[in-house]
C-alpha cells in the first residue's frame, strides 16, 4: 500500500497520532528531503529507523515505478517536507503510477497551508482554486494572471518572499488594485501574520520586505450583469483579435455567467449571417 502522510507546516504540535504511529512502524519512507524527515523523527521521539528513499521533483518520475513495486508487497510511507504530498510537492507521479497499477493508495490527513490560509483569509471559502506558485519570469507571470482576471472563485497562491512585492503588483494590475486579498505569513509558527486589504495596498506594504513562508489568497472576480447580446459581441471581439471561437466563448462565459454553448452558437450564427 502507498500511504500519503501530511506533516506539520510549522508547528510540531500539529503532527497527528496517526502520523507518529505510521512513522513508528514504517519500513520504507519516501521523503522529499531525507534529512528533514530524520529531524522530524527525532523531534517526535520516534526511534524507528526505516529505509529512507529520497523522492523529489528531479527524480520522482524515475523512482515512481520502483516505489509502486515496493508498495505491492509492503507499506510505503510518502512524505513531503511540510503539508500533504502531491499538493505543490512531490508525489503525484507515484500516486498516478500506483493507481494505474491497481496498488492501493490512502492518506493520513493533516496540516495544509492551502486550507489554513483560506480559512483565516476572511474571503469566500465556498469555492476556491489553488494556483500554486506563479511563474518566476515576469512576462509569463503577468500572462497567467491576466488569464485569471475573470476567475470567480477565491484563488490561493504560494510565493517566495523575494518575489512577493512584484507578484502583488502584477496581481493589482491584472485583477484591479481594489481586489481584496490576504497575505498569510509563517502560518502556525511563532510569528504567524495575516495582512488583509486591497491588492494595491498589499503590494505597497510588501515593498518593505517580507520574510517567511508565504500564501496569498485573492478574492474571485465579481460577475458583472452583461446582456446576452453584449456578451456575444465580446466573443466576436476576442475572435477578431485571434482567439479561437470555442476558447472565446468559454472565456466570456466565465466572466458573465452566460452559457458557453449558447454564446458559441450565437456567435457562430452571427458570423455566418455576415
Q: What is the DSSP string of 155-222?
A: EEEEE-HHHHHHHHHHHHHHH-TT-EEEEEESTTSTT-EEEEEEHHHHHHHHTT---S-EEEEEPPPP
Give domain limits for the chain.
2-111, 114-218, 228-272
Q: What is the DSSP letter of 258?
A: -
Mean pLDDT of 23-40: 96
> Average per-residue pLDDT in the chain?
94
Distance in angstroms (rounded) separating the CA atoms of residues 77 and 30: 6
- Out of 3.40.1010.10, 3.40.1210.10, 3.30.565.10, 3.30.1050.10, select the CATH number for domain 2-111: 3.40.1010.10
pLDDT in tens, 55-69: 999 999 999 999 999
DSSP H or E run through 181: strand 180-185
Distance in angstroms (rounded) separating the CA atoms of residues 165 and 35: 31
pLDDT in tens, 82-137: 999 999 999 999 999 999 999 999 999 999 999 999 999 999 999 999 999 999 99
pLDDT at residue 204 tops 80: yes
The grid coordinates listed for 96 are: 498516478
pLDDT at residue 160 tops 80: yes
* Cβ atoms of 199 and 176 closer than 8 Å: yes
Residue 241 is predicted with a pLDDT of 84
Residue 187 is predicted with a pLDDT of 98
Percent of the chain with pLDDT strictly greater than 90: 86
Q: What is the CATH T-level fold of the domain 114-218, as seen in this structure?
A: 3.30.950
pLDDT at residue 224 tops 90: no
CA atoms within 13 A on the CB side of 125: 10
Distances (CA, A) of 274 to 183, 230, 252, 271: 50, 17, 21, 6
In sequence order, which ranges of 31-102 are alpha helices (DSSP H)? 34-43, 60-73, 92-100
Residue 274 is predicted with a pLDDT of 63
Amino acid at each position: 500500500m502507498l500511504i500519503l502522510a501530511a506533516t506539520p507546516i510549522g508547528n510540531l504540535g500539529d503532527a497527528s497520532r496517526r502520523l507518529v504511529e505510521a512513522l513508528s512502524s514504517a519500513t520504507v519512507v519516501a521523503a522529499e528531503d531525507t534529512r528533514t524527515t530524520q529531524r522530524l523523527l527525532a523531534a517526535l521521539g520516534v526511534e524507528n529507523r526505516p529505509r529512507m528513499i529520497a523522492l523529489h521533483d528531479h527524480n520522482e518520475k524515475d523512482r515512481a515505478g520502483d516505489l509502486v513495486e515496493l508498495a505491492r508487497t509492503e507499506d510505503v510511507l510518502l512524505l513531503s517536507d511540510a503539508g500533504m504530498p502531491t499538493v505543490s510537492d512531490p508525489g503525484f507521479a507515484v500516486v498516478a503510477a500506483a493507481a494505474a497499477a491497481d496498488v492501493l493508495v490512502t492518506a493520513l490527513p493533516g496540516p495544509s497551508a492551502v486550507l489554513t490560509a483560506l480559512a483565516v483569509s476572511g474571503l469566500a471559502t465556498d469555492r476556491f482554486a489553488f494556483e500554486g506558485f506563479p511563474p518566476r519570469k515576469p512576462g509569463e507571470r503577468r500572462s497567467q494572471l491576466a488569464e485569471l482576471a475573470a476567475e470567480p472563485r477565491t484563488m490561493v497562491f504560494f510565493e517566495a518572499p523575494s518575489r512577493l512585492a512584484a507578484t502583488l503588483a502584477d496581481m493589482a494590475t491584472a485583477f484591479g488594485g481594489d481586489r481584496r486579498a490576504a497575505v498569510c505569513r509563517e502560518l502556525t509558527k511563532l510569528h504567524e501574520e495575516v495582512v488583509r486589504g486591497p491588492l494595491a495596498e498589499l503590494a505597497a506594504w510588501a515593498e518593505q520586505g517580507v520574510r517567511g513562508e508565504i500564501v496569498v489568497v485573492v478574492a474571485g472576480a465579481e460577475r458583472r450583469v452583461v446582456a446576452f447580446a453584449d456578451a456575444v459581441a465580446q466573443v466576436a471581439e476576442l475572435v477578431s483579435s485571434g482567439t479561437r471561437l470555442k476558447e472565446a466563448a468559454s472565456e466570456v462565459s466565465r466572466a458573465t455567467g452566460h452559457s458557453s454553448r449558447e454564446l458559441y452558437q450565437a456567435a457562430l450564427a452571427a458570423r455566418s449571417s455576415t
